Structure 1
Amino acid sequence: MTASCNRPAPLPDRSVRPLALPAVALLAALLGACSQPQQGDPEARASRIEPVAKISLKVQKVAPGSRTGEQIYQGTCAGCHAAGALGAPKTGDAAAWAPRIAQGFDTLTKNAISGIRQMPPRGGGADLTDTEVRRAVAYLANSGGAKFAEPPVEK
């Protein structure tokens, strides 16, 4: 053992101690001021803390069976077909749609209603009627070069 190991630890410098009490008092005063209720106009205070932006959602209910192919595409199909997600043929990609269009409108519609590969039945739109699925299939296939007649919307 060396002699330095037996020495006690040095005491803190005593010149710091007189400054500690005023520093703690100042900190307490600052924190105390923060906890005091704010004085002033409540409307002005409310305007200072109100959100910067507001979002307003307007839900439009459309009676089942009355949606067009484009409306169904925008609301249900575009999520995958616009980007080609999960192997879905992209909207407007004639090369990807050609072999599907060659199978015919009825086969495309049957696959869309029952689901195929990673596409869920009715494209995930459980509230879609068979006629609405037919409209969406016509709209989407026509964007890829088909010339299918979209079933009309009955009024």
Structure 2
Amino acid sequence: MTTTTSTQKSKGQLLLGLIIVFFIAVLFAVGQSLKERFKPDSIYFVIKPQISHETLTTIAKKLKDRGIQVTYHDMVFENNRLTSINVSIQVSVPGRSTTSFTLQENGKSHEFEPLIFYYEDGGQKVGFVKQTPDELSETGKKIVNENLIGLLIQQRDSKETIGSWHVD
């Protein structure tokens, strides 16, 4: 009888161990799923000569709704192409102080360099630059370098575009 009780105890402990391992695996899977589901938004805003005044205005309004203040000064359009602009952007990132950026581009005397604003990983990566930054994700680099003119907001299950963006 002692052998049977000992064997039953071992089987019970084994079963309990398997249940615990299964429970931990389920929690891990749910945690990973939630992590992906609630992944922070990414925002990309690229100003190129082809962008319109109307698109710039619409983008500023959209970003204001997300706590990003965009102000344009000295915009010059020639033959429906942006040739000069001065842009200021203020970003409020939770847990950090407000960050301000200002860039200007005058493409009259040289080639107009695209102005790139990015906000990735819930604001952990944020900037406003003329060249693609190294810290930008590979997806972000592809978006800003290849085919975005305007704004792309990439959420967990959707993408919203103002301007033009073509997926290759």
Instruction: Report the TM-score when normalising by structure 1.
Output: 0.31
Structure with the higher helix share, 1 or 2: 1
